[in-house]
Amino acid sequence: MKRTREDKAMEIVWQSPAIRPQPQDYIFRDGRRHVRPYYFEFICHVKNRWAGKTIVDLFTHEFKGRPYDYYVSAVKSGRIQVDGEMVPVSHIVKTSQKISHFVHRHEPPVMTWDISILQEKPDVVVVCKPASVPVHPCGQYRKNTVVGILEAEHGLAPLFPIHRLDRLVSGLLILARSASKADYFRQQIEGGMVQKQYIARVAGEFPEQEQVVDANVNHDARECRSTTEISQSGDDTPIKGKTACTKFTRLSTNGIHSLVLCEPVTGRTHQIRVHLQHLGYPIANDVLYLSKHVNGRSSEGMGADRAAANSSPSPPSGFRENLSTEPVDSDEDFSIDPMCTNCPNLVPKGYDVYEEALWLHCVRYSAPGWTYECPYPDWASLT
């Protein structure tokens, strides 16, 4: 990259995914793990619908997280380049050109709960994932992930997660230490050989008898929300979404909340959450799926999914940009970048640092020849 005199004076080191997380990358404050902001190159290729626009108009219209004046300055300074070269602000982009955006990246914080290593073998690592931490790089997160933290603090790399848990879900997470071992696990999962168990704390007094929900799950990635749909008798209209089935068994109840064992037969996005909502017993602190029409639940002060959309992967053909807008207290533990739209704040703008961990926890995965389990969380006690 051709750097300006200002950049040279700042001694900028541009990072890439090949640069691995280090212990010194993290700042711990007020019960949260922050990532020291760093310089990073985002890359995408020009889509057909972008062709013919000026480079500044392209960014202004497609990536609205920063103002027009920022993009003008970024092009002029070389922080936005086309095919590895600086261009004028009037440059017209063409299909398939490579566009690089060099940014001062601020990652959202996660809670400082430890990632407990339950088992460590030559070919497998099993951990208890805390809520708030994504499993692998996605959206605004790269270093503040289970994979990143395990590499930085335990030297565990490479790691291949063989299943995923939503960022706000806690519990058992199995990571293979080789691609061949990951393929072994995935073949078992795809072959229907793996049994999965979760526990959830739901609103209301769940029925004593086992409940089975067989309802399609239709996930809207833009809204970060799923819905269920069941075919009606005599209705030939095709139903949307993917087939999904979950079995539920009540473990205990105090009349206000119930602890429920959840056994998903399939693995759709938000499947357990939306199937519990479908039954009328949503997870008791799950704002995204709580319904006002079901008695005996309270959503006051709950916020499990306030930042869910920001943690979802961006469209694969575009940049992964920070689109948040609310600042927090400034920080003195990192260098201030004069062009950064987040500095001097440590947390990305608009991120809700007071979100709540979801009351959904993975407790057990098993298949012929192996079983892995994770302890119950504190909220699983209804006494």
Q: What is the pLDDT of residues 233-266, one digit of tens each?
A: 556 667 778 999 999 999 999 999 999 999 999 9
Question: What is the mean predicted confidence (pLDDT) over 361-374?
Answer: 97
> What pLDDT score was predicted for residue 55?
97
Positive or negative torsion for Cα 282, 200, 358, 270 = negative
> What pLDDT score was predicted for residue 326?
34
pLDDT of 290-340, one tens digit each? Answer: 865 444 433 333 333 333 333 332 322 333 333 233 333 445 567 789 899
> What pLDDT score was predicted for residue 308?
32
Q: Which residues pair with 33 in a beta bridge?
A: 28, 110
Rounded to whole angstroms, the Cα distance separating 176 from 189 reads 14
32-36, 155-159, 276-280, 306-310: least confident range: 306-310
> What pLDDT score was predicted for residue 162?
94
Is 145 a residue whose pLDDT tops 60? yes
Of 95 and 222, the one with more pLDDT: 95
Rounded to whole angstroms, the Cα distance separating 108 from 35 reads 8
Rounded to whole angstroms, the Cα distance separating 305 from 282 reads 14
| Banded pLDDT at 222 (limits 50, 70, 90) | confident
> What pLDDT score was predicted for residue 318?
38
Rounded to whole angstroms, the Cα distance separating 204 from 268 reads 24
Distance of CA 72 to the CA centre of its chain: 31
Rounded to whole angstroms, the Cα distance separating 19 from 253 reads 49
Burial of 144 (0-12, 13-18, 19+ CB in 10 A): buried
Q: Is residue 374 within 8 Å of residue 363, measured between CB atoms?
A: yes
Rounded to whole angstroms, the Cα distance separating 164 from 105 reads 25
Query: Which residue, among 106, 104, 55, has the nearest Cα to 76 in the 3D structure?
Result: 55
Question: What is the mean predicted confidence (pLDDT) over 62-75?
Answer: 92
* Ramachandran quadrant class, 79 (left: phi over 0; alpha: psi -120 to 50; beta: rest): alpha
The SS3 call for residue 62 is: helix
Strand spans (E) along the chain: 14-15, 26-29, 32-35, 38-45, 80-82, 98-105, 110-111, 116-120, 124-129, 160-161, 170-176, 195-203, 211-214, 216-220, 225-229, 245-253, 257-264, 360-367, 370-373
> What pLDDT score was predicted for residue 271?
96
Question: What is the mean predicted confidence (pLDDT) over 188-204?
Answer: 95
Instruction: Give percent of the chain with pLDDT exceeding 90.
Output: 67
Question: What is the mean predicted confidence (pLDDT) over 272-283?
Answer: 96
> What pLDDT score was predicted for residue 21?
92
What pTM was computed for the model?
A: 0.81
Q: Is residue 286 within 8 Å of residue 273, measured between CB atoms?
A: yes
Burial of 292 (0-12, 13-18, 19+ CB in 10 A): exposed
Give the pair of three-digit tokens for residue 142. 């790269």
Positions marked active-site: 166
> What pLDDT score was predicted for residue 170?
97
Of 320 and 115, the one with more pLDDT: 115
> What pLDDT score was predicted for residue 64?
84
> What pLDDT score was predicted for residue 327?
35
> What pLDDT score was predicted for residue 333?
63
Pairing mode, strands 14-15 and 38-45:
parallel
Cα separations in angstroms, 238 against 138, 216, 241, 245: 33, 11, 10, 18
Rounded to whole angstroms, the Cα distance separating 226 from 224 reads 7
Is 45 a residue whose pLDDT tops 90? yes
Burial of 214 (0-12, 13-18, 19+ CB in 10 A): middle
> What pLDDT score was predicted for residue 297?
38
> What pLDDT score was predicted for residue 383?
79
Average pLDDT along the chain: 85
> What pLDDT score was predicted for residue 313?
29
| Banded pLDDT at 354 (limits 50, 70, 90) | low
Question: What is the mean predicted confidence (pLDDT) over 169-176?
Answer: 98
169-178, 264-273, 305-314, 334-343: least confident range: 305-314
Quote the CATH superfamily of domain 5-107. RNA-binding S4 domain (3.10.290.10)
> What pLDDT score was predicted for residue 292?
52
Is 185 a residue whose pLDDT tops 50? yes
